């Protein structure tokens, strides 16, 4: 188990008396940025696309060759045909230039098309690795993260990387080839003018370096602010009904506006500073053109052998020499955004995945005997949620877990399902420490019906089949009948083939819970956990579902978490949790006769009319 120093959950959780942690109790860490390592890692994804990159390089080489030859032909046309008035020769040169430029344009198009395809496949590979990493993250990481921020990493950050690759690699390839080819042509054409052209390049690179160093922190903050903004929007949209019920629209909008303003200010600083790169480079380029024209003109006038056509060609070469440099330098805007996004993506990919203990084996034919002995657990060191908790459930036995809010009921279930690891004590299933069992095999032997059930944007049939993917349609429908869900499903527009909206928004809470119960019935697991499983069902339907749940629990080890104590009266054993420890255990009648905490809770519910 991770130490306190390694465990972000323990470091950042603000603390509360019990229950599972929530994302708002965590603070995002700031980490040192390593742009070079991130760039190298992004480019490593291109390693498997060598054929496409070779074709891109070939197209860049062909395009550069066309530029070099066509530019020199322009100068030769000035000296050989324009000054002599040879119109037929000029027409022939123009025809040749037209054909060459058409070929160059085709090569440039092929270069861009090939690179866009390779870049998008690379972005897809990064997105797949990120999504795979999310699937393998431990629950403590998911609890500590905003779902909107994770979505921002999967979408905005990966898209920024893909866009930078699509533009950047093409311009890098073509730019390097162009600069090398044109520099060689310039040097062969006129070494003196080449020295003049190179004199201003250090100034251009110095200005670029200063701008990049100034903007890099803002691009990192821009991506973080965007992730936070997306997280807030996702949360508020999901909770819009609650916002409306409490008339908090104005406060919510004010908070959104503040976050939006922070993002805008950061973006303006990043984009504004970066936007100075283009004008500054253009100013240097214009000075360079002026110097070349002046020096070339002086050499022509003094009769040094320099011709007007050579100066004209050199100026064109200079334009084509500085243009790819400017394009590459201007890319730093998207490159820095991509690097910041890439770091955020790799933070998730590199996060410690959920791992089984070395030597852990799959649980085989779970019978369902569960033992918790002196179990300790805390989200923050020194703030115990469970303390020396001891509880047993024999195979096929029904154990109810009751207690006040925050007593640790849900945490106990999270430990049993291996979502978290205990700090001390022992947890066994059929006499085997669950640390020695793989999490996948343990969870495959446990079916859970939660209070806040989740249904997918799929058909009703596939939502129920999620409990056992190999189940037949007939088995799915039998499970729905057993859960008392068949009636309302049959009334849906397409019955079992009705596609549900996001999280089942076209169903009531009670209907979603019935689907969840049917899903658990289909699972055929040895251990069943009912976490407030009937809390969203009306009293009449609950009485029907209780009959179904009784059938479902038959032969299974069942844990019932309930606030309504009337639903646990028939449990084989009732365990009362208080402040993370078992306060008392026994049957309903025994606990009532004992006149302890259970009797107090039970009588208070009857007195308030809740235990109906």
For position 14, what pLDDT does the model report? 35
Contact 293, 351 (CB under 8 A): no
Number of H helices, E strands in the chain: 23, 10
The answer as to whether 383 is a domain residue is no
The answer as to whether 434 is a domain residue is no
CA angle, 246 then 249 then 255, to 5°: 115
For position 566, what pLDDT does the model report? 64
The answer as to whether 609 is a domain residue is no
- Mean pLDDT for the chain? 80
Task: Please say whether the dihedral angle defined by the alpha carbons of residues 292, 298, 303 and 308, taken in this order, is positive or negative.
Answer: positive
For position 33, what pLDDT does the model report? 61
Could you tell me which residue, 200 or 583, shows the higher pLDDT? 583
- How far is the C-alpha of 12 from the C-alpha of 19, rounded, in Å? 16
pLDDT at 230 over 70: yes
- How far is the C-alpha of 597 from the C-alpha of 403, rounded, in Å? 9
Could you tell me which residue, 309 or 344, shows the higher pLDDT? 344
Q: Please give the full DSSP string across 307-323, using - where no structure is assigned.
A: -HHHHHHHHHHHHHHHH
pLDDT at 288 over 70: yes
Of 450, 451, 415, whose CA–CA distance to 434 is shortest? Answer: 415
- How far is the C-alpha of 580 from the C-alpha of 302, rounded, in Å? 97
The answer as to whether 489 is a domain residue is no
- Alpha-helical runs (H) found in 445-536: 460-465, 473-482, 486-490, 509-523
For position 498, what pLDDT does the model report? 93
- Which run of H or of E encompasses 270? helix 249-275
For position 104, what pLDDT does the model report? 84
Within a 13 Å sphere around the CA of 405, how many CA atoms are in the beta-carbon half?
Answer: 1
Confidence class for position 61, pLDDT limits 50, 70, 90: confident
- How far is the C-alpha of 229 from the C-alpha of 263, rounded, in Å? 8
The answer as to whether 151 is a domain residue is yes
Within a 13 Å sphere around the CA of 538, how many CA atoms are in the beta-carbon half?
Answer: 5
Domain extent at residue 279:
8-29+39-349
pLDDT at 78 over 60: yes
Which residue in the block uniquely carries the two structure tokens 């002196």? 374
pLDDT at 3 over 60: no
For position 436, what pLDDT does the model report? 92
Could you tell me which residue, 22 or 255, shows the higher pLDDT? 255
Q: Please give the full DSSP string across 51-103, using - where no structure is assigned.
A: HHHHHHHHHHHHHHHHHHHHHHHHHHHIIIIITTT-HHHHHHHHHHHHHHHHH
For position 480, what pLDDT does the model report? 92
Of 400, 399, 377, whose CA–CA distance to 388 is shortest? Answer: 377
Would you state the structure tokens that stand for residue 294, as one six-digit string?
């002046």
Domain CATH for 341: 1.20.1560.10
SS (H, E, C) 284-301: HHHHHHHHHHHHHHHHHH
The answer as to whether 480 is a domain residue is no
Residues in the chain: 612
The answer as to whether 17 is a domain residue is yes
pLDDT at 45 over 70: yes
For position 28, what pLDDT does the model report? 37
- Over residues 521-564, the pLDDT tens digits come to 888 888 998 887 776 667 776 776 777 777 778 888 989 887 66
- How far is the C-alpha of 596 from the C-alpha of 237, rounded, in Å? 44
Q: pTM of the predicted model, to two decimals?
A: 0.69
- Over residues 358-377, the pLDDT tens digits come to 888 888 888 889 999 999 99
The answer as to whether 113 is a domain residue is yes
Mean per-residue pLDDT for 374-393? 86
- How far is the C-alpha of 166 from the C-alpha of 113, rounded, in Å? 9
Task: Of 16-25, 159-168, 327-336, 371-380, give the range with the top mean pLDDT.
Answer: 371-380
For position 462, what pLDDT does the model report? 92
Number of domains in the chain: 1
- Over residues 406-453, the pLDDT tens digits come to 778 888 888 888 888 899 999 999 999 999 999 888 888 888 888 777
Would you state the structure tokens that stand for residue 73, as one six-digit string?
């032909």
- How far is the C-alpha of 404 from the C-alpha of 426, rounded, in Å? 24
Contact 536, 509 (CB under 8 A): yes
């Amino acid at each position: 188990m991770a130490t306190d120093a390694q465990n972000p959950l323990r470091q950042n959780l603000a603390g509360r008396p019990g229950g599972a942690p929530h994302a708002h109790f965590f603070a995002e860490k700031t980490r040192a940025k390593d742009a070079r390592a991130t760039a190298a890692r992004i480019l490593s994804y291109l390693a498997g696309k060598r054929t496409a990159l070779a074709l891109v390089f070939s197209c860049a080489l062909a395009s550069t060759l066309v530029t070099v030859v066509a530019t020199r032909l322009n100068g030769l046309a000035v000296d050989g045909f324009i000054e002599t008035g040879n119109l037929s020769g000029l027409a022939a040169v123009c025809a040749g230039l037209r054909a060459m430029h058409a070929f160059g344009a085709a090569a440039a198009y092929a270069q861009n098309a090939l690179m866009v395809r390779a870049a998008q496949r690379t972005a897809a590979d990064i997105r797949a690795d990120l999504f795979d990493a999310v699937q393998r993250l431990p629950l403590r990481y998911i609890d500590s993260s905003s779902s909107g921020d994770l979505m921002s990493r999967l979408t905005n950050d990966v898209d920024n990387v893909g866009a930078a690759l699509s533009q950047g690699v093409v311009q890098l390839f073509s730019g390097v080839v162009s600069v090398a080819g044109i520099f060689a042509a310039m040097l062969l054409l006129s070494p003196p003018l080449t020295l003049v052209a190179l004199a201003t390049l250090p100034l251009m690179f110095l200005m670029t370096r200063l701008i990049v160093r100034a903007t890099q922190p803002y691009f990192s903050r821009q991506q973080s602010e965007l992730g936070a903004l997306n997280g807030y929007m996702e949360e508020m949209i999901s909770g819009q009904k609650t916002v409306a019920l409490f008339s908090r629209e104005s406060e919510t909008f004010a908070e959104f506006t503040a976050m939006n303003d922070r993002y805008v200010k950061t973006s303006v600083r990043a984009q504004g500073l970066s936007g100075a790169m283009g004008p500054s480079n253009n100013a240097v380029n214009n000075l360079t053109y002026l110097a070349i024209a002046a020096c070339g003109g002086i050499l022509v006038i003094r009769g040094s052998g320099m011709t007007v056509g050579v100066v004209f060609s050199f100026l064109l070469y200079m334009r084509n020499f500085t243009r790819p440099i400017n394009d590459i330098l201007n890319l730093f805007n998207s490159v820095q955004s991509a690097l910041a996004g890439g770091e955020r993506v790799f933070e998730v990919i590199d996060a410690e995945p959920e791992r089984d203990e070395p030597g852990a084996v799959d649980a085989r034919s779970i019978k369902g005997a569960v033992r918790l002995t002196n179990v300790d657990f805390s989200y923050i060191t020194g703030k115990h949620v469970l303390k020396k908790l001891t509880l047993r459930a024999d195979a096929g036995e029904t154990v109810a877990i009751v207690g006040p809010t925050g007593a640790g009921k849900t945490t106990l279930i999270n430990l049993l399902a291996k979502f978290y690891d205990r700090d001390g004590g022992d947890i066994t299933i059929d006499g085997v420490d669950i640390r020695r069992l793989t999490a996948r095999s343990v969870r495959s032997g446990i079916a859970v019906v939660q209070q806040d059930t989740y249904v997918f944007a799929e058909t009703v049939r596939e939502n129920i089949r999620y409990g056992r993917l190999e189940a037949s349609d007939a088995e799915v429908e039998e499970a729905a009948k057993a859960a008392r869900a068949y009636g309302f499903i049959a009334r849906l527009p397409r019955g079992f083939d009705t596609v549900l909206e996001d999280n089942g928004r076209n169903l009531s809470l009670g209907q979603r819970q019935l689907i969840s119960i049917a899903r658990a019935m289909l699972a055929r697991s040895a251990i069943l956990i009912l976490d407030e499983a009937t809390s969203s069902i009306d009293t009449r339907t609950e009485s029907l579902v209780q009959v179904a749940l009784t059938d479902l629990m038959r032969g299974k080890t069942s844990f019932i978490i309930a606030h309504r104590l009337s639903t646990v009266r028939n449990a084989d054993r009732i365990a009362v949790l208080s402040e993370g420890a078992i306060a008392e255990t026994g049957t309903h009648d025994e606990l009532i006769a004992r006149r302890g905490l259970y009797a107090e809770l039970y009588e208070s519910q009857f007195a308030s009319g809740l235990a109906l």
